[in-house]
Amino acid sequence: MSAPRVKHFWLGIAICLCAAGAAPASAEPPVQRFAKSLTFATVSHESPEQFDVAPFDGLLAWLEASYPRVHATLSRERVGAASLLYRWPGRDASLAPILLTSHLDVVPAPDPEAWTHPPFAGVIADGFVWGRGALDDKVGVIGMLEALENLIAAGFVPQREVLVALGHDEEVGGDAGAGAITKLLAERGVRAWFSLDEGMAIAEPGATSLTERPLALIGVAEKGYLTLRLTARAPGGHSSVPPPSTAIGRLSRAIVRLEEHPLEARTQGVVSDMLRAVAPHTSGIQRLVLSWPGLFGPLIEAQLESQTSTNPMVRTTTAVTMIEGGVKANVLPREASARVNFRLLPGDTSEAVVAHVREAIDDPEIEITVETVNEASPVADVDSDAFRLLAEVIHDFAPDAVVAPALVVGGTDTRHYAEVAENGFRFLPVRFDIQDFERVHGRDERLSVENYLGAIDFYGRLVKRAAGGGLP
C-alpha cells in the first residue's frame, strides 16, 4: 500500500494500514531467521492455476525446524493448501481465547533487477532486512513465533488459550486460507475474545501532519468490496448509418452520471472516534474542530473529501476500472460494458449501493449485475476491555505515540475471522514513514532491524497481558 507525500494535516489519516540467501553471521539469530523467511517465494496469484505450493512447503518445514519450542508446546494443524493453525491451551478453559493472525503469502515482485537487493534473497544490509514480505506480512508471522518461542523458554504458561492463524492467500482474498480456518474454528464452537491482524501501524510524524507525535492507529473496521458490471445493448449494424446513440454512448452517459453522483460523505462512527482520540494532542483551531466532529462535521467532511487520499475515509468510493465494447471501427457494437468497483463504508450495504446506482444513472435499459461482493466488516467496540487492553499494550510499547481507532480502507483476513471473534483489530507493531508506505507492494520492500526486534517485543507483551498466566 502506498501513500503520496502529505501536504496538510488531513492527509495522513487515510494511510492504510504480505530460494535461499545467506544472512551475515554478525546479525542476531532472530534477525537471521527473519531474513531467511523472506527467501521463500510464497507468492499469491489471482489465477488458482498459478499457485505453487512448493515454496509454502519449504517455509512450513523451515518454521517447524526453526521454532522447536513452539512446535513442541503448541499443536499445529495444516489447513487447506498451506495455512496453519496453532493452539496453545490455557490453564482456564472457561476463558475465551485470543486469536493472533497473519499471512504467509506475498504479492509478486516485478522488475527484480530494479530492486537494490533481490526481492527473495533475504539480505541484511544498512540496518535493514530487505525482501518481499518484510513489511507485508512476514514480520507478523515471524515476530509472533519468535515471541512465543521466547515466552516458552522463559517458562510462561498462559491462563487464556492462545490461537495463532497464518493464512496462505490473504493477498487474493483469503477465502482458502483464513476463510477455511474460520470455518474450522466455527465448527468447533470457538469464540475468541478478540483477533489481531495487520492493517494499520504506527505512522511517524513525517507520514502524517495530523499531530506532531507518532500516530498508532488500531484498525477497528475495514471497508467492503463490491464490483458491478454495467451493460448497454443495441441492435448493431454499420457505422455509416448510426442511431442517435450507440451502446457505447449509452454506457458512457451512465458512467458520467455515476461519477457525478457519488455516495454521501459522513464522518460518524470510526472517523469521529479517531478524530476525538487525536484532538487532545493538537492545538488551536485544529483541536477545537477535531474535538467536536458532530458540530463541525460539514467542515471536516469538506476537508476530507477534497483530497483523493482522504476521501475514502468518509464515503463509499466509486471507481470505474474496466470498459469493453466494439470489435471494429466501422461496426456498431451490439454490447458495451463497464466494471465499477465500490469500497463500502461501514453502514453502507451492497443492496443500498445498487439502489443508488440505479437512481444515479436513471436508465432502465442499462443492465446492472453484481459480480463480486464482500460487505463492510463489523466495527469493533472501542469501549471494550479488549480495545483498552490493546491500547495500553501499544502505549507501553510506544509511549511517544498517540493511540487512536481507525478505518482500514483496504482489506485484511480479519473480515473472515470476524465470524469467530467478539472484536477484530488490525495493528502491526511497526513504525512507518512515507518511504515505507511506498515500499509495501512496491520495490525495495524492507524493514529496519530495530523495527523487527520491536515487533517481537510487542507480541510478547501482548500475549503476557492478554493471555495472563505466568511462570509455573
Of 374, 400, 420, the one marking the end of a domain is 374
CATH number of the domain residue 202 falls in:
3.40.630.10
The pLDDT value recorded for residue 23 is 47
* Residues 91 and 147 both lie in one domain: yes
Query: Do 275 and 206 lie in a common domain?
Result: no
439 three-state secondary structure: helix
In a domain, 463, yes or no: yes
- Least confidently predicted of 31-40, 45-54, 61-70, 114-123: 45-54
Looking at the fold, whether 234 and 209 belong to one and the same domain comes out as no
pLDDT band at 26 (very low <50, low <70, confident <90, very high): low
197 domain-assigned: yes
Respond yes or no: is residue 170 known to be catalytic: yes
Residue 312 in any domain: the answer is: yes
The catalytic residue among 136, 146, 149, 170 is 170
Flag whether 114 is in a domain: yes
Q: Residues 206, 119: one domain?
A: yes
Across 51-65, 219-233, 297-311, least confident range: 297-311
CB 67 within 8 A of CB 148: yes
For 181-190, what is the mean pLDDT?
Answer: 98
Q: What is the pLDDT of residue 282?
A: 85
Active site residue 383: no
Residue 309 has a pLDDT of: 77
- Indicate the range of 15-24, 294-303, 397-406, 408-417 predicted with least confidence: 15-24
Residue 1 maps to a domain: no
Quickly tell me which residue has 464490483 as its cell. Answer: 227
What is the arithmetic mean of pLDDT over 80-100? Answer: 97
Q: Answer whether 395's CB lies under 8 Å from 281's CB.
A: no
Domain co-membership, 37 together with 177: yes
Place of cell 491451551: 89
Domain that holds residue 446: 11-220+378-467
Which residue's entry shows cell 495455512?
83
Query: Looking at residue 298, what is its pLDDT?
Result: 84
Q: What is the structure's pLDDT at 11? A: 28
Domain assignment present for 46: yes
Contact 106, 133 (CB under 8 A): yes
Q: Do 299 and 213 sit in the same domain of this protein?
A: no
On average, the pLDDT of the chain sits at 91
Q: Judge if 385 and 286 occupy the same domain.
A: no
Sign of CA dihedral 165, 169, 174, 180: negative
Last residue of a domain, one of 316, 341, 374: 374
- Cross-strand bridge partners of residue 76: 86
Q: What angle do CA 224, 9, 215 make, to 5 degrees?
A: 65
- Could you tell me the end-to-end alpha-carbon distance of the chain, in angstroms, rounded to an integer? 43
Residue 119, pLDDT score: 98
Q: Does 202 share its domain with 278?
A: no
The active-site residue out of 105, 136, 146, 348 is 105
Answer yes or no: is pLDDT of 25 > 60. Answer: no
Provide the percentage of residues in the chain whose pLDDT is more than 90: 79
The pLDDT value given to residue 304: 82
Give the pLDDT confidence of 388-424 residue by residue, as tens digits. 999 999 999 999 999 999 999 989 999 999 999 999 9
Assess whether 369 and 411 both reside in one domain: no
Q: What CATH number has the domain bearing residue 348?
A: 3.30.70.360
Task: Give the residue, 305 or 394, on which the prediction is more confident.
Answer: 394
Judge if 243 and 370 occupy the same domain. Answer: yes
| Any domain includes 472 | no
State the total domains in the chain: 2
| pLDDT tens digits for range 276-292 | 899 998 888 888 888 88
| Backbone dihedral angles phi then psi of residue 45, each to the nearest 5 degrees | -125, 150
Per-residue model confidence (pLDDT) at position 332: 95
Predicted confidence (pLDDT) per residue in 31-60, tens digit: 999 999 999 999 999 888 899 999 999 999
Q: Which residue has the higher pLDDT, 350 or 311?
A: 350
Q: Which pLDDT does position 21 carry in this prediction?
A: 39
Q: Which three cell numbers stand for residue 226?
A: 463490491
Task: Sort strands 424-426 and 194-197 into parallel, antiparallel or unpaired.
Answer: parallel
DSSP 8-state assignment for residue 134: T
Q: Which residues of 187-198 are buried (b: 16+ CB within 10 A; e: fewer)?
A: eeebebbbbbbb
In a domain, 340, yes or no: yes
Q: Please determine, for residue 19, whether its predicted confidence score (pLDDT) is greater than 70.
A: no
Cell numbers linked to 400? 511517544
Residues 160, 252 share a domain: no
- Look at residues 342, 347, 402 and name the one whose alpha carbon lies nearest to residue 378: 347
For residue 137, cis peptide bond before it (omega within 30 degrees of 0): yes
pTM for this one?
0.89
Instruction: Identify whether residues 354 and 404 lie together within a single domain.
Output: no
- Is the pLDDT at 380 greater than 50? The verdict is yes
Last residue of one domain, picked from the residues 358, 374, 390: 374
pLDDT in tens, 198-228: 999 999 886 665 678 899 999 999 999 999 9
Q: What is the pLDDT of residue 209?
A: 58
